[in-house]
Amino acid sequence: MGLKISSKRFVLSDQTKNLYGFVVITAGIDLSAFKDNPVMLYNHDYDKLIGQWVDYRIEGTQLTAAPAFDENDPYAMQQYQKVEDGILKGASVGISPVKFDEANSEMSASLLLEASVTPVPNNRSALAIYNAKGQKLSASEIPMYLLSVERTDPPINNNQEMKKELILALVALCAQAGHTIALSAESKDEDFAGAIKKVGEKITSLEQAKTDLSAKVENFEKDAKTAAEKEIDDLLAQGVTDLKLTAADVPAFKELGKVNLSALKTTLSALKPVAIVAIPGAEDKTKDAPGADDKAGWDYDKYALSAPNELAEMETKQPEKFKVLLSAKLDKVRNTYTIPA
């Protein structure tokens, strides 16, 4: 790209108040990005890149530079001629705010991104403001964006009423945490920090204590459950040994024990041992046992006494019938003996 340097020199920024009501401090303009790419636009329009700025420098409160136009761009050369003829003689900067002093309406630090020749340098569109992403802001967006820029305003004294409320809140919080503190409106920042630290330490301590207690409760409940299950198993084993229960009875009575251990103990205590009469020459009482029709009226106890193997087989092969017999037996036990709730 061939560049044609104008004989005119422009003041890009001179620290006068713009129509947005603030001043761009010249000494605070960072030229580092601009040095790498000193583009010259027409009226801050990215579609109208017409050349570059050369020989730019800060002189007192002024940032000045000479425009160099793209000789291969007819539009750029039209603007060159207007500059040389004294028709086009305005310029302005496109900057990204870094620090803004709202009290003095001063942009104390900024980053120069581009500079433009412009026909009306004093109108609102002449000064271009870009956000941190390099996006050009509209006139309506600029005031709000400046509010988000880092402040250089002097710190405002704390409101005394708010400070009093903060003190009262901290005193109450520390009291709940078991600490006594002395704070006043004259207390220093480190006093407040110390009070807050004490509360934090207490909270941490309480959280750890809660965790430890939860673990102890969990272990206690686990041990208690294990002990209760062992006691139930021992009671049922003894019931079988004492001939009060058969192996087929155990599951139902175990469920009873899980629901009400005291009821299980009372029931087992009230049950009488089953008298088993040995039949000479026959070890299995189911051998030569009555046919199915003869067993139509048999209850759980009759099966347990006369055909225990068949009862055990019924639990797996005829579970519904087994449940009916077992339920009837339990109802009989409950009706016969008083089971505490």
Check residues 21 and 170 and name the one with the higher pLDDT: 21
Other CB atoms within a 10 A radius of the CB of residue 225 amount to: 11
Are 246 and 328 within one domain?
Answer: yes
Find out whether 80 and 110 touch, Cβ atoms under 8 Å. Answer: no
Which whole number is the average pLDDT over 163-192?
Answer: 67
102: tokens are 């709202």
Query: 227 in a domain, yes or no?
Result: no
Q: Indicate if 25 and 115 belong to the same structural domain.
A: yes
As a three-state string, the secondary structure of 176-208 is: HCCCCCCCCCCCCHHHHHHHHHHHHHHHHHHHH
Strand, helix or coil for residue 336:
helix
The answer on 249 and 208 residing in a single domain is no
Residue 215 burial by CB count (10 A; 0-12/13-18/19+): exposed, middle or buried?
Answer: exposed
Report how many domains make up the chain.
Answer: 3
Q: Within this chain, do residues 126 and 258 fall inside the same structural domain, yes or no?
A: no
Residue 134 scores a pLDDT above 60: yes
* Chain centroid, CA 99 distance in Å: 33
- Paired residues of 305 in beta bridges: none
> Does 38 reside within a domain?
yes
Whole-angstrom distance, CA of residue 111 vs CA of residue 95: 5
Total H helices, total E strands in the chain: 10, 11
- 197 and 301 in a common domain: no
Over 50: is that where the pLDDT of 95 sits? yes
Region label for 11, one of left (φ > 0), alpha (ψ between -120 and 50) or beta (otherwise): beta
Flag whether 95 is in a domain.
Answer: yes
Same domain, 116 and 21: yes
Is 71 among the domain residues?
yes
CA-CA distance, 206 to 226, in Å (whole number)?
30
* pTM assigned to the model: 0.43
Q: Residue 48: CB partners within 8 Å, gap ≥ 6?
A: 41, 42, 75
| Same-domain pairing of 146 and 62 | yes
Binning pLDDT at 50, 70 and 90, where does residue 336 land? Answer: low
Based on the fold, state whether residues 72 and 131 are members of the same structural domain. yes
**Same domain assignment for residues 183 and 272:** no
Q: Is 233 domain-assigned?
A: no
Report the pLDDT value the prediction gives residue 261, as an integer from 0 to 100.
Answer: 85
The pLDDT tens digits for 250-281 are 898 988 888 888 888 888 888 888 655 444 44
Is residue 272 assigned to a domain?
yes
Do residues 146 and 164 both lie within one domain? no
CA 86 → CA 66, 69, 79, 81, distances in Å?
14, 15, 11, 9
144 and 175 belong to one structural domain: no
Residue 237 belongs to some domain of the structure: no
Last residue of a domain, one of 134, 151, 168: 151
The answer to whether residue 104 sits within a structural domain is yes
Confidence band (pLDDT; 50, 70, 90) for 170? Answer: low
Query: Given a cut of 60, is residue 101 above it in pLDDT?
Result: yes
C-alpha neighbours within 13 Å on the C-beta side of residue 92: 23
Average pLDDT over the chain, rounded to an integer: 80
Distance (Å, rounded) from C-alpha 122 to C-alpha 118? 9
Which one of 151, 181, 205 terminates a domain? Answer: 151
Give the residue numbers spanning the domain of 10: 3-151
Query: 248 with 213, same domain?
Result: no
